[in-house]
Structure 1
Amino acid sequence: MNKNAPVNARIRLAIAQWPDDAPRGAVTTFCAEHGITRKTFYAILARARDEGQAAVLEPRSRRPKTSPTRLSEDLKQDTLKVRAALESSGLDHGPISVHDKMIALGMHAPSPASLARIFRERNVARSEPAKKPRASYRRFVYPAPNACWQLDATEYVLTGGRKCVIFQLQDDHSRLAVASHVASGETSEAAMAVVKKGIEAHGVPQRLLTDNGAALNPSRRGVEGQLVTYVTSLGVKAITGKPYKPTTQGKNERFHQTLFRWLDKQPLAATHQELQEMVDRFDLVYNTERPHQGLPGRITPQQSWDATAVAEAPRPKPLPVLPEPQASGPAAMCQVAATVHMVSDQASAPVNWRLFVPEAWDDTCADTNEHAEAVAARRVKARIPDYVRNRPKWELALEMINELAHWGRTCPVAVADAGYGDNALFRLEPTRRSIPWAMAVKASTSAYPADAIPELAERTSPKGRPSVPRYRQDPASLAELAGAAGRGQLRQVTWRHGTKTGRGNRAAAMKSRFLALRVRPASRHKNPVAHRTRLPRTENRARPLPLRGTVLPGPPPPRHPRVSGPPVHHQETPCHPKSSRGSLSLYRVLKELQRILIRQLARCPYCQHAPPT
């Protein structure tokens, strides 16, 4: 019998009834037969003589009479209140954060382990045993501030479904938020703007760590970006992480999570200026008030920056002379249009068009309030409608194709240049609608050979996420795949007859050599709203906004939900954000609410016409 196991009730009863005139050696024999010690035997016998035979049938409770370290109910309620206050402020509200906040407020703080147990008991937190522990990652930290900066961008949704990008620049050693910048898109100009802002405030770093994005550091693609050229001229070493391994920039990725947790508790921003002010306030709280759990002693990033001497700035190089943009031409005068043409072998005619508004003509993309007011005045003078905003040309093109389909004009074949074909989302739309297409792309576009097949990785442990099929080889550019095919695969094709004839070309034939090559696209583009964009909370909106599609955020033409015909914006695709109800998509919920609104108002809120019966 295990020495810690309770003694059976039958054995206890036999000991309690033990005769006083038992022969010598009977106790030893009894203990050996039942697997108990003589000490246990005489303890039970003494208790039976003191308390009676009925008292020894159950073992005594091992619970202590007093528990001085037991947490009171009032203290548990105080911990829950502190956690709720941190959560409502948009700050981290885990056990460690609550522990530090209670100490800062002069309150008695239980240990982080006790706090975690309290939160699980009250169902305000959940246990995640399958989560990868922090100790499993290979940590790295540079020895001094300005030894390395990390730069990354993340998308944000403004009111009306308009998307923008937030650049965040962070010091690797101290985790200090060096600078932040709100822009309309992830461009090299915006990346250079945030780096210049950080250099002006904190000096020149020795290294700049980014991902392999085209706007940040496309060196692995064989291209030198504008940001790399600029920082290299200052003596800064531009480095990148391994492709598809975001843990290298894990500090900045976690920085995004903290930012969006804080923005979720703020009113939804309507313009870039409002969002920039909110991000600046967050940087101040992050640097000076919020203890950082990744720093020794859980100090603030500003304290960590001040505790260590700043690394010596690198030796600068001559700045490259970049051509200044000329304020002339159709783009500067807002005279650029995106058009859809119907063409034949003899002629072409435009059938639909949209005005393309550059960023310089959109006051919501301005950097300062003064600039925004000037742009707004210029828009009023040019009589540009308020709903016409800066949007990518490929979105305008898809909107026009949808409108033509509503008019009963189907597209037999879609042809576009590289300005549209380089966008993977634009290429996917005709494919999804069964429209044949031929689009130009850049030679640097990545792809896999036709014989490449995604394979499942062999799992070494039953824990963790299930593996998904992946290509086990790196993609190559189209130029490399075409070169590997060889010159022998080229075929001369007459693709058009022009008007200029020559001595050896009486028919004015336009000839060129072509290569037909079957490949598998390697673009990793996904729906930005469903896969990458964090949708902030939508409280405190000034007014209800019209329903808009996730791919085309512009105002839709008037449509009745029950009118038969091809859909325009709200396409049912797996890319729509899913609600917590599983198969019930957010799009279906919004569409049903739209139908209820039309039934209540007895008219369409867009065109003010009565719905069809």
Structure 2
Amino acid sequence: MPWKKVETMEERARFIVEAARRSEPFSEICQRFGISRETGYKWVRRFQDRGSVEEFSRAPRNCPHKTSDAIIEKILLLRETYPYWGPKKLSQLLFDKYGICDPPAPSTIGAILKRHGFISESRKIRRKSAGRLRRYDLLSPQDTNDVWAIDYKGWFRLGDRSICYPLTITDMHSRYVLACKGYARQTLENTKSAMENVFCDYGLPQAIRVDNGTPFGSSGIGGFTQLSVWWIQLGIIVDFIEPGKPEQNGSHERMHKTLKLESTMPPQDSLSEQQKKFDSWRHRFNYERPHEALGQKTPSSIYRRSLRSFPREAPQFSYPPYFESRFVRSDGMFNWKGGQVFIGEAYGRNRIGLIQNYDGRWLVYAGDILIGGLISEEPKHVVPVRRLIG
């Protein structure tokens, strides 16, 4: 009879007893139990040597590719130091920090972290794609300082119950965090002050990507604010994303997620203490954290200071002789043909240029940018460009 799967050990014991009795030829006993003579002799020898017929372990006695205890210890130490960094980044750190030229594969590191309780099993939720983003007018950075991104991360309360608004600025090519500054209020003055410091330290970018909210964008003429008009004066392109489309600034938003996990949970007791946490996080993000989009390099290994220096004073808008030029007061008004026209406070204390179109309407420029126009139906304020069509 063949071995019964659920009574394997019992059948082997019976075979040993029958073989010991020698009441019939050994070959017939093997045939009755449905095994070959070679297998029968193997079980007899095993019983004589070990007093048992249990299977030997099939696990290899040694594994030449097994991760050493020393490397496992380093992996666990790195995970404790950087609790939110995954296996790919830890694999790169084994090389960067400890000089391990052939570190374990990320999958092996993941298994080690799971075995030691650093990773818990979780069901992955597959999200349906909303469709590939089809925007062709956003600038694509090809080098450092081509496009910077700036935004305020969502506010949160500190331990003393005050509010912190973190302002972040990054270089989109290298992912280098140029600034991470916490403020008690989200104001134009605070934002401009932070930008001046960054411009002094790193020079000027070609473009800055922003959303349409204050203090970067507005619902006024051209969508600009005093801050973005200042950028234009400095020769910087203002790269607005579409309203309600934060994924168009995806790398910056992803950085905000890392910032939240590693520097605000839990929040510090005061704004000054929180700023120290931001500074420490920024250094770690730029100089220690490998970035997958950079081939596991650090942002600091790629970023280089801009060759465009920050001028002491922003140049004023200038226009050709055939333009009419007007000075805009701080209240957003300018004089025009014996009356006053409103354009918006964003252009206050600056000069605008006007040129008459072929249809008799006046086009209004801020530097090289057409921002609106004047029409006879609404003579007291500048209208958006879309009103000039048709």
TM-score of the pair, normalised by structure 1: 0.39
Q: For the residues of structure 2 that align with 1:54 and 1:288, how far apart are their CA atoms?
A: 61
- Code of the residue aligned with 1:305 in structure 2: it is Y
Letter of the aligned partner of 1:291 in structure 2?
Answer: P
Tell me, in whole angstroms, the C-alpha distance in 2 between the residues paired with 1:18 and 1:63: 36
Indicate how the Cα distance of structure 1 residues 198 and 323 shifts in structure 2: closer, same or farther if over 3 A, else same: farther
Residue 218 (1) aligns with residue 218 (2) = yes
Structure 2: runs of 5+ lacking an equivalent: 48-52, 134-138, 319-326, 332-390
Q: Residue 203 of structure 1 contacts residue 313 of structure 1 at CA under 8 Å; is this kept in 2?
A: yes
2:79 alignment partner, one of 72, 76, 83 = 83
* 1:293 paired to 2:285: no
CA distance in 1, matches of 2:98, 2:63: 24
Question: Given that residues 212 and 220 in structure 1 are in contact (C-alpha distance below 8 angstroms), is that contact kept between their aligned partners in structure 2?
Answer: no
Question: Does 2:90 correspond to 1:98?
Answer: yes
Distance (whole Å) between structure 1 residues aligned to residue 37 and residue 219 of structure 2: 85
**Which residue of structure 2 aligns with residue 305 of structure 1?**
303
Gap change, CA 1:283 and 1:54, over 3 Å in 2: closer
Question: What residue number does 2:64 align with?
Answer: 68
In structure 2, the partner of 1:482 is none
Paired residue for 2:236?
236
* TM-fit CA distance, 1:236: 2.2
Partner of 2:168: 168
In terms of fraction of residues, the more strand-rich structure is 2
- Once structures 1 and 2 are overlaid, which stretch shifts more, 120-129 or 100-109? 100-109
The change in CA–CA distance for 1:58 and 1:181 in structure 2 (over 3 A counts) is closer
The letter for the 2-side match of 1:106 is Y
Aligned partners of 2:117, 2:237: CA distance in 1, in Å?
48
Give the partner amino acid of 1:66. N
Q: Displacement of 1:103 after TM fit? A: 2.7
The number of residues matched between the two structures is 290
What secondary structure sits across from 2:167 in the alignment?
strand
Q: Is the 8 A contact 1:145 1:174 kept in 2?
A: yes
Distance 1:221 1:319, change over 3 A: closer
Distance 1:66 1:175 in 2: 44
Q: 1:54: how far off?
A: 8.8
Cα distance between partner residues in 2 of 1:323 and 1:162: 36
Deviation at 1:172, TM superposition (A): 0.4
Matches within 5 A, 1:24-43: none
Greater RCO (CA < 8 Å, at least 6 residues apart): 2
Aligned to 2:373: none
The separation in 1 between residues aligned to 2:141 and 2:251, in whole angstroms, is 12
Shift in CA distance, 54/286, structure 1 to aligned 2, threshold 3 Å? closer
In the alignment, structure 1 residue 114 sits paired with structure 2 residue 108: yes
C-alpha change, 1:220 and 1:254, in structure 2 (3 Å) is farther
**Could you say which residue in structure 2 is the equivalent of 1:496?**
none
CA distance in 1, matches of 2:198, 2:231: 12
Contact kept in structure 2, 1:95 and 1:112, CA below 8 Å: yes
- What residue ranges of structure 1 are gaps of 5+ in the alignment? 1-5, 22-26, 28-33, 35-40, 326-613
| CA pair 171-322 structure 1, distance change in 2 beyond 3 A | farther
Question: Matches of residues 100-499 of structure 1 in structure 2 within 5 Å?
Answer: 100-106=92-98, 109-131=103-125, 142-154=141-153, 155-218=155-218, 223-264=223-264, 268-271=268-271, 275-296=274-295, 298-306=296-304, 318=316
Alpha-carbon distance in 2 for matches of 1:284, 1:249: 22
Q: CA deviation at 1:151?
A: 0.8
| 1:428-454, Cα deviation, whole Å (9 max, x unpaired) | xxxxxxxxxxxxxxxxxxxxxxxxxxx
Is the contact between residue 150 and residue 169 of structure 2 (CA under 8 Å) also seen in structure 1?
Answer: yes
Counterpart CA distance in 2 for 1:147 and 1:242 is 20
**Given the two structures, how large is their TM-score scaled by the length of structure 2?**
0.58
Contact 2:203 2:306 in 1 (8 A): no
Is the Cα–Cα contact under 8 Å of residues 147 and 311 in structure 1 kept in the other structure? no
Question: Are the structure 2 counterparts of residues 203 and 72 from structure 1 closer, same or farther at C-alpha, using a change threshold of 3 Å?
Answer: closer
Partners of 1:282 and 1:54 in 2: CA distance? 62
Tell me how far 1:289 sits from its aligned partner.
3.1
